[in-house]
Structure 1
C-alpha cells in the first residue's frame, strides 16, 4: 500500500510483504528527520497532520491513545510516538527503520556541531548570539502553536480543560524530575474517578434535548452523533453528562500491537538492566569515565518524562556538573538543538562527543554510547507496552485514566513554552540565557513565528530560518545604540 493511496483510517499493512512495508515506511517518513523542527510539541502536530489526517495510517482514537502512552512512559516523547505509530501500522522492522530515519540526521548534525564547538574561541561575536536568540524565539512560537492545537484535541469536557490549565500552572510554579509524571498521574486519576462516578450515577438523566443544549457544540442534534472533531473513548464510547453513549464507528480499525509475551519480556528485561546499572554504580566506587557517562545518560533516559524540554536541566546536572563539558558549550548546544530537526535527545550526542576530551575513546564512540544510553530505556519500554496494549486497552477504566494523562501531558507543553521563553535570550557574558521578554524584538519574533505557522501555514523550517534572520536584523540595531 503506497502513501499515495487513501486507506481507511487505521488500516494495517501487515498482510503485505516486508519489503513493501519497509518501502512504504521509507517513502512516508524519510524526510521527517530533516524537516521536523521545533522539538516534541511541534513533532506531535506534524505526526498528527501526516499520519492521521493525510496518510491515515492510524485513526484519531489510536493516535490519542498512543500519545497518552508515550507521554506516560519515560524517554523521548515524540520519538516514541512516531515509532509506535509505525509499529501499529506496519510492524516491528519497519518501525525500527522509521526510528533510524528519524534520529540519524539530527544525530549526525549535532556530532558535527560538537566538533565545530571544540574549535571556536571562548567568546562568540554578538551577531552569533543574536542569531541564536532569533532561532530560540521562533522555536517558542512554534511550540505555542503545538500547545494550542493539542489542547483543542485533548479537551473533551470541562474537566479535561481544567486539567490542562491546572497542570500548566503547576508546571510553572515548580520543577523537578518526579513532579511532571506525578502531575500527569493526578490528571489520570481525576478523569478516572469522574468518569466512573458519572457512569454509576447515569440512571439520573435529564431529557436528551435539555442535556445537549449549550453543552456540546460539536454534537449534531438531528443525527444524535458527534462531529468528526469530538474525541471518543477507547471502544467508541463517549462520556457525555454521565452517560456512556455508544457511537457506531465509521471504520473498522486494524491495529498491530505485537506479541504480549514479547512485550512482557522486554519490560522485565528493562527492569533487570535498570537494577544492574544502579547496583554497579553503588558497588564500584570509581568506575571508568565511559561507564559513568553511559550510566548517567541511561538513568536520565529512564527518569525523564515529557520528552525534550524536560531533559535539559537533568543533562546540565549529569554532564556539566561532572566537569566533562563547559557551561558555555552546553548553552550553545542548547540553542542549536532547539532549532535542529528531529528529537531533542540528540543533545546527548553533542554532549557525549564534547565529553570525549576526558576519555581515551574517539568522540564518535562516546557519541554512540551516549545516544544508546539516552534512547534505549524509552524505546524498549515503548515496544514492551505497545505489545501488551491490546490486552490493557480492553479494560474500560484505562480509557478513563488515559484521558486525564493526555490532558496533563498537553498542559506540560504549555509549561515547556514558558521554560524555553525564560532561557531563550542569549547574550555575551550570560551563558545560562535569560528571558525573551527582556527585549520587545524577541517577543515580536515569537509572535511572527506563531502567526506565520498557525494562520498562514508557513512550514516550520521556514519559520526557524525567519527567526534567525530577524535575530541578525536585531544585531545592527543594538550595535547602533552603543
Structure 2
C-alpha cells in the first residue's frame, strides 16, 4: 500500500474539465482521458493506461466511468475516486435535466447542426486516441496484426459480447505468441491505498447487493424498487453506454413507471451532452415517481447504476497488480491492449465516422480538428467550439 501522490481537489478540477467537454460517448471519453491524463498531466504511463482500459473492458459496468473512477483512485485515494466521479458526472446530470426541458428549442436546423458538430468532435478525438495508442501498444508486427484483425472482426459482428470475445481471444494469442515484451518500468504497477482484503470485501458486497436487493423491491416506483432496478441494470451490462438502454427500458417503461415518450425524449437529450451516458439514469429517477422527492430519486438512480461497476473495478484492482506482473499475464495483457486499439479503430469507423461524416465539408472540419489536437495540442474545449461553430456555419453557407 502507498499514499496517493495527488489530492482530491486536483482530481476534481481535472475531471470537471472533462465532464464539461467530453462529447461523443464512451469510446470518445477514452480518447479524452488518454489525452488529459497520459499526455498532458502524465499521471500514469501509456502502459498503465492500457492495462486499466483492458480491465474496464473486461468488467460489466460503464467502462469510461470506471476508468475515470480508477484514475481518481490511483491519484488521490478514495476521495480522489469520489471527486473524479462527481466532477465527471455532475455536469452531464445537470445539463441533461435542463436539456430535456429545452428539447423543443433544438429541433430546428441550427440546433441540429450544433448537435452534428458534437459528433464531429468525437471523430477527431477518437482518431487521435487510435493513433497515439497504436504507437505505444502495437509496437511489433504481431500486435499490429491483432489490432487489425480485432477491428475487422468487430466491424463484421458489432455487439458487446463480440467485443468481450475479441479481447479474450487476443489475450490468449498474446499469452502464447507475443515474445517481444520489454521489462516493465519500475512504476508500471498500480500503487493502491488498500490491499487484497478490502478488495475481496468489495467483491463480496457487489454480489450481496446483486442477490439481496430483489428481496426488498416492491415492484412499485418507490425508493427500494429504484435502488434495485438501477443497481441490477448497472451490474448486468457489459460495455456501458447505449447497451444499458434496453435494461433501463425494461425496468421503467415495461413496468409502467414512466411513459415510453418520456423515456425516448430523455434518451434523445442524452445524445447531445458531454459526460457519461449513464447520467440518463438521473433523468429517469427524477420523473419515475411524483410521490417521492425528485432530487432524492434522481440521485438514488444515479448512484446505484454506477455503484456495481465501481465495486467491481475497485475490488479487482489489488489482484490485478499481482496478476499483471506474471510474464505470461504480461503477454496476455499486451495482446488484450492490441485488441483494445482495434476496438477503438472499429468504433472510429462505425458508428463515429459513419454517423458523423455526411459531406466533404464535414471531413474538412474533422481534419482541422484533428490538426488542432495532434499538431497544436490545443484544449479539447477549443476543438468543441470549432466543430460546433463550423457545423452551424456550414448550414448557413449552403442552405
Instruction: Decide which of 265, 268, 272 is 2:204's aligned counterpart.
Output: 268
Match of 1:138 in 2: 121
Q: Does 1:333 align with 2:269?
A: yes
Once the two structures are superposed, residues 17-39 of structure 1 have per-residue CA deviations (whole angstroms, 9 ceiling, x without a partner) of: xxx84455456555443344444
Q: Report the counterpart of residue 170 of structure 2 in structure 1.
A: 187
After superposition, residues 269-288 of structure 1 pair within 5 angstroms as 269-277=205-213, 287-288=219-220
Q: Which residue among 63, 79, 83 is the counterpart of 1:97?
A: 83
- Pair 1:446–1:299, CA change in 2 (3 A): farther
1:139-179 Cα deviation digits (max 9, x unpaired): 22222222222222221322221222222222222233322
Residues in 1 aligned to 2:194 and 2:19: alpha-carbon distance in whole angstroms: 25
Q: Secondary structure at the match of 1:74?
A: coil
Larger radius of gyration: 1
Aligned-CA RMSD value? 3.5
Aligned positions of 1:62-81 closer than 5 A: 62-81=48-67
Match of 2:131 in 1: 148
Secondary structure of 2:259 counterpart: coil
Q: How big is the shift at 1:336?
A: 0.8
| Number of aligned positions between the proteins | 395
- Worse overlay, 56-65 or 456-465: 56-65
Residue 372 (1) aligns with residue 303 (2): yes
2:383 corresponds to which of 463, 470, 476: 463
1:475 and 1:246 map into 2 onto residues whose CA distance is 53
- 2: distance between equivalents of 1:371 and 1:307? 14
Larger strand share, 1 or 2 = 1
Give 3-state SS (helix, strand or coil) of 2:139's partner.
coil
Deviation at 1:128, TM superposition (A): 1.6
Deviations 1:212-244 (A, max 9, x none): xxxxxxxxxxxxxxxxxxxxxxxxxxx32xxx6
Counterpart mapping for 1:36-51 below 5 A:
36-51=22-37
1:440 to 360, 385, 392: 360
Report the Cα offset of residue 413 of structure 1: 1.7
Question: 1:319-468 residue pairs with structure 2 within 5 A?
Answer: 324-326=259-261, 329-330=265-266, 332-337=268-273, 340=274, 342-353=275-286, 355-356=287-288, 359-421=290-352, 435-468=355-388
Give the gaps of 5 or more residues in structure 2: none
How far the C-alpha of 1:245 sits from its partner, in A, is: 6.0
CA contact (8 A) 2:11 2:75 kept: no
1:319: how far off? 6.1
Shift of residue 412 of structure 1?
Answer: 1.7
Indicate the SS of the match to 1:103.
helix
Structure in which a larger fraction of residues adopt helix: 2
Q: Which residue of 2 aligns with 1:210?
A: none
Aligned counterpart, 2:146: 163
Counterpart-to-counterpart distance in 1, 2:352 and 2:31: 20
Cα deviation for residue 381 of structure 1 reads 0.6
Looking at structure 2, the residues matched to 289 and 34 of structure 1 have their Cα atoms a distance apart, in angstroms, of 31
Q: Are the structure 2 counterparts of residues 75 and 388 from structure 1 closer, same or farther at C-alpha, using a change threshold of 3 Å? A: same
Pair 1:343–1:280, CA change in 2 (3 A): same
| Mean CA deviation greater in 265-274 or 454-463 | 454-463
Residue number in structure 2 paired with 1:220 = none
d(CA) in 2 for partners of 1:310, 1:154: 27
Distance (whole Å) between structure 1 residues aligned to residue 244 and residue 347 of structure 2? 11
Partner of residue 474 from structure 1, selected from 382, 389, 394: 394
Assess, with a 3 A threshold, how the Cα gap between structure 1 residues 349 and 418 changes in structure 2: closer, same or farther. farther
Whether contact under 8 Å (1:184, 1:405) holds in the other structure is: yes
Given that residues 180 and 305 in structure 1 are in contact (C-alpha distance below 8 angstroms), is that contact kept between their aligned partners in structure 2? no
- Relative to structure 2, which stretch is displaced further, 96-105 or 258-267? 96-105
Structure 1 residues 194 and 359: CA distance shift in structure 2, 3 A: farther
Alpha-carbon distance, 1:455 to partner: 2.8
String of CA shifts for 1:76-130, please: whole Å, max 9, x gaps. 223222322332343223322232222222222222223333xx38x92222222
Greater CA drift, 134-143 or 312-321:
312-321
